[in-house]
Amino acid sequence: MAASILSFARRKAALACDAHLRGALTILALALPTVAPARAEHAPVTAVASHIENAQDHTRLVFDLTSSVAAHVWPIANPARIIVDLPEVSFQMDPSANRGAGSKLIRAYRFGQFAPGRSRVVIDLAAPASAVRVESQPAPSGARLIVELAPTSAARFTADAQAAGAIPATKASTPPPAPIGLAPLAPTEKPVVMIDPGHGGVDQGAVARNGTEEKMIVLAFARALRDKIEAGGRLHAVLTRDDDIFLPLAERVALAHRANAALFLSIHADTLAAPHVEGATVYTVSAAASDAEAARTAEHENNADQAAGLETPAAEGEIGDILLDLTRRETHAFSRQFSHSLVTRWKEAGSLNKNPTRSAGFVVLKAHDIPSALLELGYVSSARDLARLTSPDWRDRAAGKTAEAIETFFAARAPAAVVAAPVAPRPE
Ligand SMILES: [Zn+2]
């Protein structure tokens, strides 16, 4: 214990030096003898509350924890954010309380799991700011983590963010390690449907006024859909995430490739300022958005990585390969065919958007060889949609219709499926 504290202290000194140079701050709570030894090996630290304190010259974000934790705090630009990296912390707080409204420096903040064993708080800045102090103090809950921000110039913020990005151990663009639990899939003769519940972990997605989070709505729907598909017996359904964990967009597509998926369906729920807009929409990928609303939705959903504090990767160049182009065209035709099948079935379930078939440049739909669609189940900003989205009955019926649409899509492609799977038993 003493040795590890000593080595912590050395690391702290080294990091404090880095921090000074690079705009990042690290604390390790050494001055809390009443807290640290009480913490059992690997016992999870729980965050029970958080609040913002606004002062004339600074703003503090405060977390009440059951025990002290090491925190690494660093800035990231475009848009301006402060990232607080923590070991695994279980956030057991009212989800509707994490908004940050009314602060001069903090526009919003969110928190959750970032990768196995790692948690993260992402602070969206309302104005350029530096983390000037990061401290752990004893508190009635166990410990209090204080992140103090002070206003800075835009130029200084950018310089700090560039410097922080140069620290290899916390490089923002490094994707988190592959999530636990995604062991290689068992070989299956059935076509694989990859269901992708959007968001997760630190990225909560759209949040309803009552605090209901998109990441939980879509996970419940994805699980119900998987069960319907599996019960049908003809297809094998797999989820990109079956837990409340963060997954980068590229990793979702990579999982579909690894599973040799024959269809990729990303599940989301949207939000709008206009509370009367309701109903489900099915999106496919296109270079130019079908309409302004589709462009807005794609921009919003493509920001998922950014919401978790990853840097937005540079747009990939178009590959001028004719074979790839042909594959892409064929895949796109299948994607549209599936999207029509889905809209037809959802008509029967009701609750479709007025303009339910749209397209835009969704990053998560860009696999060139897997037919892909994104289903926005509805709007959490609509009271009627929210009642549907959180109703187990509605979920069961809508997941059933979605599974039927998927079955219809594969039935139309049956000859190809048999060729691809020579040992597959005939259904009849
Ligand atoms: Zn979403």
Distance 20 CA to ligand 1 centre (A): 37
Distance 198 CA to ligand 1 centre (A): 5
pLDDT tens digit at each of 428 positions of the chain: 333 333 333 333 333 334 444 456 665 443 333 333 344 446 689 999 999 999 989 999 999 999 998 888 888 888 889 999 898 899 888 766 656 677 889 988 888 888 888 888 989 999 999 999 998 889 999 999 999 999 999 999 988 888 777 543 333 344 444 443 343 444 457 899 999 999 999 999 999 999 999 999 999 999 999 999 999 999 999 999 999 999 999 999 999 999 999 999 999 999 999 999 999 999 999 888 999 999 999 998 888 888 888 765 544 544 456 666 777 788 888 999 999 999 999 988 768 999 999 999 998 998 888 999 999 999 999 999 999 999 999 999 999 999 999 999 998 875 443 333 333 444 43
Distance 94 CA to ligand 1 centre (A): 20
Q: How many CA atoms lie within 13 A of 58 on its CB side?
A: 13
Cis peptide preceding 44, ω within 30 of 0: no
For residue 339, what pLDDT is reported? 94
Distance 301 CA to ligand 1 centre (A): 5
Token pair 């048999």 is at which residue? 418
Whether the model clears a pTM of 0.85, i.e. scores above it, the answer is: no
Distance 62 CA to ligand 1 centre (A): 28
Distance 271 CA to ligand 1 centre (A): 9
Distance 219 CA to ligand 1 centre (A): 11
For residue 12, what pLDDT is reported? 39
Distance 199 CA to ligand 1 centre (A): 6
Distance 212 CA to ligand 1 centre (A): 13
For residue 288, what pLDDT is reported? 87
Distance 25 CA to ligand 1 centre (A): 32
Distance 168 CA to ligand 1 centre (A): 30
Distance 218 CA to ligand 1 centre (A): 9
For residue 367, what pLDDT is reported? 87
CB atoms within 10 A of CB 302: 16
Distance 190 CA to ligand 1 centre (A): 29
For residue 125, what pLDDT is reported? 92
Distance 376 CA to ligand 1 centre (A): 8
175-182 own/partner pairs: CB under 8 Å, 24+ apart:
175/248, 175/250, 175/251, 175/310, 176/114, 176/115, 176/116, 176/118, 176/246, 176/248, 177/115, 177/116, 178/251, 179/115, 179/116, 179/241, 179/243, 179/245, 179/247, 180/116, 181/242, 181/243, 182/255
Distance 3 CA to ligand 1 centre (A): 45
For residue 237, what pLDDT is reported? 97
Distance 413 CA to ligand 1 centre (A): 29
Residues within 5 Å of ion ligand 1, judged at the Cβ atom: 198, 205, 268, 301
For residue 420, what pLDDT is reported? 38
Distance 306 CA to ligand 1 centre (A): 13
